[in-house]
Amino acid sequence: MQSAQASFENIRKDFPILERTVRENKTLVYLDNASTTQKPNQVIDAINDYYRNHNANIHRAVYALAEEATELYEKSRDKVANFINVKNRVEVIFVRGTTEAINLVAYAWGRDNLKEDDIIVTTEYEHHSNIVPWQLLTREKGAKLEYIGMNDNGELNLDDLDKYLATGKVKLVTFSLVSNVLGTISDAETIISKCKAAGVLTLVDGAQAVPHMKVDVEKLGCDFFAFSGHKMLGPTGIGILWVRKSILETMNPFHGGGDMIREVHKYETTWNDLPYKFEAGTPNIADVVGLGAAIDYLSNIGMDVIRQHEIDLTSYALDKLSQVKGLRIYGTKDISKRGGVISFNFADVHPHDVAQIIDEEGIAIRSGHHCAQVLMERLNVAATSRASFYIYNTKEEIDALINSLNKVARIFKL
């Protein structure tokens, strides 16, 4: 414990932004990690080094720089494969982020595999990026979008899943492994085994899971898996779609363009091998390299150590927040079922006002609907405040958050 604690203190030194002051000379307390994380020097330096020493377009040229750039790019693919235990590297596709990953599946798999009256099942606590693409697709196809409901503890009602699966019309079940608002860790094992038994494919939105705990897609057994680099110390503009090869091989391309083709003729074209068939155009090479550095950084610490650190912080924060009079916390208190995300409301004060008042103390939390308006409706709230933690956060920062809430209470005469 001691030494783990000590090493987490060293970690902060790797993040230059944490030395910043904001507003009136207040130390930055960054607690919006579910939205995006800060970047360590190692990641910033990898991007730097790429541009200063190796930058070239990849795959096609024979000269030295192109060879180096291609190698760096493809090495990152291996790192990703290894990080989430993908056996076949060609199943790893680089995209902009989780949103593009899910849209790619909706277009390149969904349009060929969904027909009238088919059903896609999602959940009430999904991020908009795991709802809207399916609304667009089901509308186009005359198919239906259904929702697995949630109990008041923020856990999915798997009876709903059974009910939809029983119709025999479900083509895909899609859910987030960890909710970005409630922190709920979905019971993926049960969901996926039910779907497998019914012969239904599954997509897992891993945006809030991969950065925070060990994820093994082989073990999960899903068919599609999506996550974003910027939420795991990596740069903006890069994310991953993993698709099981047997499915990926049946999919038509999404974007047309350079690199995804084998032979282009005026009126017909053949496709490149996997994964290139799905990586049209010049990719975001520098940020793929940056993501590789982020994965190295996380692996060096160890995902289990990171998860334990977040459990410590989250338990501490849940405990402290519960003691604040008038403060309501959403979701389960069972820490084994919850990631490092805490949504709350403070008396009758709107979350925007909370966030703005504590921002003046240097504390950055998110307020609003968190791209989860369906969940807001379910919770019957307009918005929540949300604090979310990562490897560089400390108990002192949680104390600072609690302190700042006193100011809110004072201003709003709570």
By CB under 8 A, what part of segment 260-319 binds other proteins?
261-263, 272-273, 276
What is the DSSP pairing of strand 224-228 with strand 239-243? antiparallel
Give me the numbers of helices (H) and strands (E) for the chain, helices first please.
15, 17
CB atoms within 10 A of CB 185: 21
CB atoms within 10 A of CB 3: 7
Rg, Å, the chain Cα set: 22
Q: Using the CB atoms, write b or e for 354-379: b if 16+ within 10 Å.
A: bbebbbebbbbbbbbbbbbebbbebb
Closest approach of Cβ 186 to ligand PLP, in Å? 11
Report the alpha-carbon distance of residue 101 to residue 94 in Å, rounded.
9
- Asked if 35 is part of the footprint of a second copy (rule: CB under 8 A), the reply reads yes
- Of 176, 245, 174, the closest CA to residue 210 belongs to 176
Q: How many residues bind other proteins (CB under 8 A)?
A: 35
- Asked if 38 is part of the footprint of a second copy (rule: CB under 8 A), the reply reads yes
- The binder of ligand PLP chosen from 32, 118, 124, 205 (CB under 6 A): 205
For ligand PLP, what does the binding mask look like between residues 342 and 381, x meaning CB under 6 A?
-----------------------------x----------
Residue 233 backbone zone (phi > 0: left; psi -120 to 50: alpha; other: beta): left
Closest approach of Cβ 221 to a second copy, in Å? 25
Annotated catalytic residues are: 371
Q: Could you say which residues in the range 126-185 bind ligand PLP, by CB under 6 A?
A: 127, 129-130, 176, 180
Q: What SS3 class is residue 303?
A: helix
Q: Could you tell me the CA-to-CA distances from 48 to 41, 43, 51, 287 in Å, in that order? A: 10, 9, 5, 10
Q: Using CB distances below 5 to 8 A depending on partner kind, what does residue 174 bind out of a second copy, other proteins, ligand PLP, none?
A: none
19 - beta bridge partners?
none
Closest approach of Cβ 78 to other proteins, in Å? 14
Report the alpha-carbon distance of residue 203 to residue 221 in Å, rounded.
10
Choose one: 63-71, 168-176, 178-186, 306-314; the region binding other proteins (CB under 8 A).
Answer: 63-71
DSSP state of 178: B
Q: Could you say which residues in the range 213-272 bind a second copy, by CB under 8 A?
A: 228, 230, 235-238, 253-261, 263-269
- The binder of other proteins chosen from 12, 59, 328, 378 (CB under 8 A): 59
Closest approach of Cβ 36 to ligand PLP, in Å? 8
Q: Could you say which residues in the range 45-104 bind a second copy, by CB under 8 A?
A: 47-48, 51-57, 60-66, 96-100, 102-103
Q: For residues 231 and 277, is the Cβ–Cβ distance under 8 A?
A: no
- Asked if 352 is part of the footprint of a second copy (rule: CB under 8 A), the reply reads yes
Q: Could you say which residues in the range 287-346 bind a second copy, by CB under 8 A?
A: 287
Choose one: 131-139, 170-178, 192-200, 313-321; the region binding a second copy (CB under 8 A).
Answer: 131-139
Residue 221 backbone zone (phi > 0: left; psi -120 to 50: alpha; other: beta): left
- Asked if 99 is part of the footprint of ligand PLP (rule: CB under 6 A), the reply reads yes
Tokens for 291?
């993501």
Residues that bind other proteins (CB under 8 A): 24, 59-62, 66-67, 70-71, 259, 261-263, 272-273, 276, 348-353, 356-357, 360, 367-369, 373, 376, 382-383, 411-413
Q: Which residues bind ligand PLP (CB under 6 A)?
A: 34, 97-99, 127, 129-130, 176, 180, 205, 207-208, 228, 239, 258, 281-282, 371
